Amino acid sequence: MGGRSGFSILLGLGLGLVSCGGGDGAGDSNATGGTASGGAPAGGTGGTGSSPSGGAGGSGGTATGGAGGAATGGVAGSAGGASGGNAGTGAWVDPIAGVGQVAKVAGGFSFTEGPAWFSAHGKLLFSDIPANRIYALTPPSNVTVHREPSGNSNGLAVDPAGLLVAAEHSGRRISRTAANGGVTTVADAWQGKKLNSPNDVIARSDGTLYFTDPPYGGNPNELGFQGVFRVSPARALSLVTQDMFRPNGIALSPDEKTLYVANSDPAKAIWMAFDIQAATSSSSRRRRERRVPESVADSRRSRPASTVESRSSARCTGSR
């Protein structure tokens, strides 16, 4: 979604929104603070000695391991660099670098989150969690209330029908807002138990929704785990994984073949990548990890959610 009238990258910094450049920049997109393919395109530069085939690791690495070999999916692990595996640190790429100057466009908010571009109306929607509102920003800086109450929404997405989808903390659900303003529940329970506090959501072009469900809303944990879920176009809910302690930001690769999920756990600060089966949009059990360097993990805590797009236009929000 390049060419956003100066709003290619927006960051919610607790009390305000800032715009970082705009237009269709060169290069491919960034995912949850790193590159869309886990550090580099196939044959990237994740260590000091990576190879196009992913066979060599980083400094002192080997074809089946290493500290920083890079290929699609991150650095080499037991599966080798080409298909991913457990990740090393790889190469960190600043998603803002080269995009443009940072300029504040709005302020006075409590805790901004979940930006989503509402193309049908030329607006950027974002959540203010404590305020229990979803705002709409019309470029360059006109902000109005789009929905109140919002269920203390966090992540937002726009589905293929052009309708707003929200991950609600206090509502403990994924909701959809119709064109007339009516709000319906898409998913609020798994096997008869309430969801924790849906945090971030992404919509696929076929109507499939993916969302994370950590415990950040402070609700009782009826599930006994924190999960990543999938909602089919027919609204059937399925579990992608329950192996992440703090699943948070979620994104799709530009070709929609890979699902990325950030784990906001200081003890295991990683990004997970799940292969998506094209015929069903279901996620494969094959997965890749990319470990986050400690310095990056610290910086990521100030901008926990982002969106991967087909060009150099990532949007992210944060608490500082």
Which pLDDT tens digit goes with each residue over 215-231?
998 899 999 999 999 99
Q: How confident is the model at residue 298 (pLDDT cuts 50, 70, 90)?
A: very low
In three state form, how does the secondary structure of 56-117 look? Answer: CCCCCCCCCCCCCCEECCEECCCCCCCCCCCCCCCCCCCCCCCCCCEEEEEECCCCEEEEEE
Which pLDDT tens digit goes with each residue over 175-220?
999 999 999 999 999 999 999 999 999 999 999 999 999 999 889 9
The answer to whether 160 and 207 are in contact (CB under 8 A) is yes
Question: Does a structural domain hold residue 308?
Answer: yes
Question: Does a structural domain hold residue 59?
Answer: no
Question: Does a structural domain hold residue 5?
Answer: no
Residue 71 predicted with pLDDT over 80:
no
Question: Does a structural domain hold residue 82?
Answer: no
* Cis peptide upstream of residue 160 (ω within 30 degrees of 0): no
Question: Does a structural domain hold residue 269?
Answer: yes
Measure the CA–CA gap between 35 and 250, rounded to whole angstroms.
14
Three-class secondary structure of residue 214 per DSSP: coil
Structure-token match 């309708």, residue found = 163
Which pLDDT tens digit goes with each residue over 230-245?
999 999 999 999 999 9
pLDDT of residue 123: 96
pLDDT of residue 116: 96
Per-residue tokens: 139 = 């470029």
Measure the CA–CA gap between 87 and 65, rounded to whole angstroms.
9
pTM metric for this prediction: 0.68
Q: Tell me which residue range forms the domain holding 274.
A: 10-39+92-317
Per-residue tokens: 186 = 């898409």
Greatest distance between any 2 Cα atoms in the chain: 60
pLDDT of residue 217: 87
Question: Does a structural domain hold residue 133?
Answer: yes
pLDDT of residue 54: 36
Question: Does a structural domain hold residue 83?
Answer: no
Per DSSP, the chain holds a count of helices (H) and strands (E) of 1, 27
Task: State the total domains in the chain.
Answer: 1
Measure the CA–CA gap between 267 and 265, rounded to whole angstroms.
5
Measure the CA–CA gap between 150 and 94, rounded to whole angstroms.
32
**Distances from the Cα of 157 to the Cαs of 41, 67, 183, 237, 302, in angstroms?**
26, 36, 14, 17, 21
The CATH number of the domain holding residue 227 is 2.120.10.30
Percentage of the residues of the chain whose pLDDT score is greater than 70:
58
Measure the CA–CA gap between 298 and 93, rounded to whole angstroms.
15
Query: What's the chain's length in residues?
Result: 320
Measure the CA–CA gap between 67 and 319, rounded to whole angstroms.
32
Sequence-distant (6+) residues with CB within 8 A of 131 are 109, 110
Question: Does a structural domain hold residue 75?
Answer: no
